[in-house]
Amino acid sequence: VEFILGLPKAELHAHLNGCVGMEVLFELADEFVEGIGFEQSSLKRLESFSIDDIGEFFKVFGVIYGLVSTREALGRVTRGVLGGFLGEVGEESESESECTYLELRTTPRRLGSSSAEEYLETVLEEVERYPKEKAGLIVSVDRRMGVATENESEGGITVEEVVNLAIELKKQGRRVVGVDVCGDPRSGDMELLKPFMGKVREVGLGLTVHIAEIPGSVSGDTQHLLSFTPDRIGHGTFLSEKEKEIVLERRIPVEVCLSSNIICKTVPDLASHHIRYYLERDHPIVLCTDDTLPFRTSLTAEYALLLAKSPFGLGLSREEVRRVAEWSLEVRFGGR
Ligand code: 5GP
């Protein structure tokens, strides 16, 4: 563990609401119960969470969103998540923090009467308590969102709105370093997102997309996502041989979340995980947690899987693990 903790490294694929601590959720539930009688039993289920397919996984967030429902709660959980990865502001000790740099990502949503902009402001206030060499924010677009504002019924946040917000905040010098496309891989038409992703690239924001998370995803989906020329891709579990060649050729770094893939059952075991394909080809990968709460993991635990011998891990040498950690810093969007 000392070897892992001592490695300078970046966490680049962590969803804010998927990394909330259980303790803070219980605190929020206690406060909530007094108000409207929140069901503690649904929280208990989060602790012993098991799923049979990735679609079920997305239901977990309903419980979390039910609790993280005010700006105050959002600020509190964000502070906790940042502290968990980086240590408290000003007290970050290299040996105690999980990583030396964090790119946290989150999807803006309305909290009561607060706007998507206020959501991002709240998260950014917490992120910006750390120096820019330590933390940055990736703004996520959810595949389930409507695309353009003019076609949307009132109230729904759209891809257009989120992308414009990310761009505007970057222009104001706020700590937005990139945009992500996430959410249930069975939904949305990725072709429609292309013009918005072009705008993201034009202003120099990094672009990362969740891609090929499920087999035979919506037709043309993966090709559309690759056509956005992303700077990094998330998962890439079911890329075809041809698509993998594109990834290798363009040297697009792959964000790999081992526990997430095993628990969501998109990969049967570590021995058959696609991380091996890229490692064998010396292609940059970034080891990440995805969602520490439902996957009951940490960045240290994910790195331990690299070092552990088969069948518990991949049995990499310390030198190989060090290389993976170096890649994570090389391919970050911000922090320099
Ligand atoms: P948030 O963006 O609310 O801070 O974090 C939770 C959200 O991230 C989820 O509602 C979901 O849209 C997205 N997310 C978390 N984990 C995954 C994942 O493994 N795959 C995809 N496609 N989206 C995810």
Task: Give the tokens for residue 216.
Answer: 């035979």
Q: How many CA atoms lie within 13 A of 76 on its CB side?
A: 15
**Predicted pLDDT of residue 57:** 87
Q: In this structure, how many other beta carbons lie within 10 angstroms of the beta carbon of residue 276?
A: 12
148 band by pLDDT with thresholds 50, 70 and 90: confident
Lowest mean pLDDT among 39-43, 135-139, 276-280, 320-324: 39-43
Q: Give pLDDT tens digits for 36-79.
A: 555 666 666 666 666 777 778 888 899 899 999 999 999 999 99
Q: Which atom of ligand 1 is nearest to the CA of 260?
A: 19
The stretch 158-164 carries a mean pLDDT of: 97
CA distances from residue 238 to 180, 224, 244, 322 in whole angstroms, order as listed = 19, 15, 9, 27
136/127 Cα distance (integer angstroms): 7
**Is there a contact between 325 and 3 (Cβ–Cβ < 8 Å)?**
no
Ligand 1 atom nearest residue 65's Cα:
3
Confidence at residue 60, expressed as pLDDT on a 0 to 100 scale: 86
Q: What tokens were used for 63?
A: 């419980």
Q: 240-280 pLDDT, tens per residue?
A: 999 999 999 999 999 999 999 999 999 999 999 999 999 99
Residues with Cβ within 6 A of ligand 1? Answer: 15-18, 61, 106-107, 140, 142, 182-183, 185, 210, 213, 260, 290-291
User: Which pair of tokens denotes residue 231?
Assistant: 């700077």
Is there a contact between 292 and 14 (Cβ–Cβ < 8 Å)?
Answer: yes
* 132 or 95, higher pLDDT: 132
As a whole number of angstroms, the distance between CA 79 and CA 121 comes to 13
Q: What distance in Å separates the CA atoms of residue 120 and residue 157, rounded to the nearest whole number? A: 13
Whose Cα sits closest to atom 15 in ligand 1?
A: 15
- The enclosing H or E element of 105 equals strand 101-106
Predicted ipTM > 0.85: yes
In the predicted model, what is the mean pLDDT of residues 130-159?
87
* For residues 132-144, average pLDDT: 97
Given 3-state DSSP classes, what are the helix, strand and coil percentages for the chain, each rounded to the nearest 5? 45, 15, 40
Tell which one of 11, 12, 15 to mutate to probe ligand 1, the residue whose CB is within 8 A of the most ligand atoms.
15
Whose Cα sits closest to atom 19 in ligand 1? 290
Atom 6 (ligand 1) nearest CA: 17
* Cis peptide leading into residue 311 (ω within 30°): yes
**Opening angle at CA 80, ends 208 and 73, nearest 5:** 95
Q: How many angstroms does the Cα of residue 3 sit away from the middle of ligand 1? A: 30
Q: What gap in Å lies between CA 150 and CA 54, rounded to an integer?
A: 32
Class of domain 2-330: alpha beta
The string of pLDDT tens digits covering residues 189-224 is 999 999 999 999 999 999 999 999 999 866 689 999
Whether 145 and 156 have beta carbons less than 8 Å apart is answered as yes
> Ligand 1 centre and the CA of 307: distance in Å?
27
Q: Which pLDDT score, from 0 to 100, does residue 43 have? A: 62
Non-local CB neighbours of 262 within 8 Å, separated by 6+ positions: 269, 270, 273
The yes-or-no answer on residue 213 being catalytic is: yes
The structure tokens listed for 42 are 């649904």
Residue 81 Cα, ligand 1 centroid: separation in angstroms?
15
- pLDDT for 313 equals 95
Task: Return d(Cα 255, Cα 233) in angstroms, integer.
Answer: 6
Higher pLDDT, 36 or 108: 108
Q: How far is the CA of 15 from the centre of ligand 1 (A)?
A: 6
Active-site residue, from 213, 243, 255, 302: 213
Residue type for 44, please?
A: K
Domain range list for the chain: 2-330
Indicate the pairing of strand 254-256 with strand 176-182. unpaired
Give yes or no for a contact between 285 and 278, defined as CB atoms under 8 angstroms apart: yes
What is the position in ligand 1's atom list of the atom closest to the CA of 109?
A: 3
Q: What is the mean pLDDT of the chain?
A: 92
- pLDDT at residue 59 in the model: 86
What six digits make up the tokens of 85?
Answer: 């990865």
Nearest to 234 by CA among 188, 272, 178: 178
Helix 159-171 vs helix 194-202: crossing angle, to nearest 10:
0
